[in-house]
Amino acid sequence: MRMQNEVAIVTGAASGIGQEVSVQFAKEGAKVVLVDLNSCEKTIELLGEADYLECLGDIRDPDFVKAVVNRTIEKFDEVHVLVNNAGTCSRLDLEDMTLEMWERDLDTNLKATFLFTQAVIFPHMKEARYGRIVNISSVSGLNGGVVSGGDEKNGRSGPAYAASKGGVIALTKWVAKEVGKYGITCNSVAPGATATAITAGVPYDTSNQVIDRMGEPSDIANAVLYFASKEASYTTSQILKVDGGVSIG
């Protein structure tokens, strides 16, 4: 039970990677705070007897973020782990990118990560002298977008997605330098093409990968679990690519 009695907030917990992370955490003994815009009913069914708290709302709203953290403290008295997972991905190219889509991806992927990170660290993790922040970024934030099949013009994750995930990576490193003195680590998992709602209906050619298949949410959750555990106490500011080897030069 690598996370026995620890309290973990997971955003985007209703499905995909967030759901798998929540279930794995619960199996390892964690109390899980499920955060999403949509109902987490299916995730709750998978948690078994694990203690949980469901918080539904817009992670881009500072008041909602504060309310989630306050409810977490009221119910569980503390918070040990934060997984910033929820995200959106537009596939419009630069010519067709709208300000609305740009702001949506930046606000959901980067702004919300900042809001939650700030809210759990100050004062809670800082006072406890312990914490684990795990941000889900993307190899798109490292290489400018994962190419998929289909539409040649809009066949990869768009500039807003790549920019937001690049920002998550930079923020991860900055936060790690700032909070290590409080016993808090901050790391990021950077998935490649993974079978979630974001990639549903988008054909991916994985033949150029060392591991010729799409990633599964469990592949990403396994990496998150390591960063969230006490085993990673000497690991911070790391960006772990879980991408089937697509980033190999």
Instruction: Return the active site residues.
Output: 161
Give the integer Cα–Cα distance in Å for 136 and 156: 18
Q: Which residues pair with 194 in a beta bridge?
A: 215
Q: Residue 26 burial (CB < 10 Å; 0-12/13-18/19+)?
A: buried
CA dihedral 34→44→169→101, nearest 10 degrees, is: -80
Structure token pair of residue 7: 């309290």
Instruction: Give the C-alpha separation, 130 to 143, whole Å.
Output: 32
**Residue-wise DSSP of 107-149:** IIIIIHHHHHHHHHIIIIIHHHT-EEEEEE--THHHHS--B-S
Whether residue 115 contacts residue 168, with contact meaning beta carbons closer than 8 Å, is answered with no
